[in-house]
């Protein structure tokens, strides 16, 4: 990840830091290359959407997915967040995943390992039924490949009750910390354990619905889900 630091080896498609996305402190943690950013986005499932109403900040957690150079999220058409963003309000889209606890020999140098992405812009209301359906399918296939074709398809009423927005990935930066603690030189002599405790998000054994139709088997995708 550090090879992308400070924009050293940039490709034509990479993100250009703006005033808002330039990582000013600890810039060795910055990631602007598109592949690095997309890899983080594709590993996550829940984002935190920031928006402003009457000067008050709101942060709503919700599921998201990426399709090409956009991220999507959706919810009830009655959602305050979606109604507000659908009118073109500025948004801050944040994804973060905890990867480890970094236990240094002082509190000051203790830290966490993580991957995070922040994107700014204005969300766009997805209005066409075809785009909505394609995006819902992409969301389903990202987690459970092959499942969409077996589900009962969405009804017209369900599509109407679902509001969906997308955000073009234009003003984007990621920040990543990996590796061991970096202690002050004189602290390495202390008799205290130091190192990293890795943290992972894992899926457990699937729980069959109590009304599962007899004979229906567990699909293979249940064992291969990436959720962080």
Site pattern 15..54 for a copy of itself (x: CB under 8 A): -----x---xx-------------------xx-xxxxx--
Find the binder of a copy of itself among 96, 126, 163, 165 (CB under 8 A): 96
Q: In what order do the strands lie in the sheet with 70-76?
A: 30-31, 171-177, 111-122, 90-103, 46-53, 56-67, 70-76, 162-168, 124-125
Q: Which residues of 200-222 are buried (b: 16+ CB within 10 A; e: fewer)?
A: eeeeeeeeeeeeeeeeeeeeeee
- Min. distance of Cβ 159 from a copy of itself in angstroms? 9
Q: 6 near 27, Cβ under 8 Å?
A: yes
What is the Cα–Cα distance from 139 to 66, expressed in whole angstroms?
8
What is the Cα–Cα distance from 150 to 135, expressed in whole angstroms?
17
209 near a copy of itself, rule: CB under 8 A: yes
- Min. distance of Cβ 156 from a copy of itself in angstroms? 12
Nearer to a copy of itself, 128 or 215 (CB): 215
Q: Which positions from 148 through 177 interact with a copy of itself, judged by CB under 8 A?
A: 148, 150-155, 158, 161-162
Q: Which positions from 174 through 203 interact with a copy of itself, judged by CB under 8 A?
A: 180-181, 183-184, 187-203
Find the binder of a copy of itself among 41, 118, 164, 169 (CB under 8 A): 118
Nearer to a copy of itself, 9 or 146 (CB): 146
Q: 15 near 175, Cβ under 8 Å?
A: no
């Amino acid at each position: 990840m550090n090879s992308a630091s400070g924009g050293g080896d940039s490709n034509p498609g990479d993100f250009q830091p703006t005033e808002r996305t330039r990582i000013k402190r600890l810039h060795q943690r910055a990631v602007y290359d598109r592949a690095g950013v997309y890899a983080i986005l594709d590993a996550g499932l829940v984002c935190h959407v920031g928006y402003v109403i009457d000067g008050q900040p709101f942060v709503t957690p919700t599921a998201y997915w990426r399709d090409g150079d956009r991220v999507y999220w959706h919810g009830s058409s009655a959602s305050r967040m979606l109604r507000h963003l659908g009118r073109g309000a500025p948004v801050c889209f944040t994804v973060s995943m905890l990867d480890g606890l970094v236990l240094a020999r002082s509190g000051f140098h203790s830290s966490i390992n993580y991957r995070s992405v922040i994107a700014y812009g204005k969300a766009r209301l997805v209005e066409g039924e075809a785009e909505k359906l394609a995006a819902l399918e992409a969301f389903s296939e990202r987690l459970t490949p092959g499942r969409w074709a077996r589900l009962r398809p969405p009804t017209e009423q369900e599509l109407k009750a679902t509001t969906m927005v997308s955000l073009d990935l234009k003003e984007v930066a990621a920040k990543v910390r990996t590796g061991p603690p970096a202690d002050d030189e004189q602290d390495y002599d202390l008799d205290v354990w130091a190192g990293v405790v890795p943290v992972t998000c894992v899926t457990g054994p699937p729980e069959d619905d109590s009304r599962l139709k007899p004979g229906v088997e567990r699909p293979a995708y249940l064992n291969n889900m990436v959720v962080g």
